[in-house]
Amino acid sequence: MRELTALRPLVYATRRLKPGEDFTTKTDRDARILIAVGRAKARRVPGKIAPPPADVVQKVVQSNPPDNAAEDLSKLRSEYQELIGKRPFMGWDAAELQRRIDEVLAS
């Protein structure tokens, strides 16, 4: 028994199937024949993956501590807005913002 999807209109096991309709064959032989003559294709069913063990997750979290880059960037953006009077370009990273802030402070 395999899961198939009809490619063309067909009748299988007294059912009229339209293209794109999913169905289950009674035997593997029926599935092989329908696929070979181009009436159906095998439907892929996603597998189930177990979540990683808790100790592995803990090790990954410990080895990659969260950084405060987002907080630093938001502080630099607010500082830029106070100095210049308009909002910074959101594509700038922290180094670019700091360089532009330093230019304004130097002048």
Q: In the numeric block, which tokens belong to residue 7? A: 């490619």
Domain boundary assignment for the chain:
3-42, 69-106
Read off the pLDDT of residues 32-86 as tens digits, 9 standing for 90 and up: 999 999 999 998 878 889 988 888 888 877 766 666 777 888 899 999 999 999 9
Strand bridging mode 40-42 / 15-17: unpaired
Residue range 6-34, pLDDT digits in tens: 999 999 999 999 999 999 999 999 999 99
> Rounded distance, CA 22 to CA 26, Å?
13
The residue type at 24: T
**Model pTM score:** 0.44
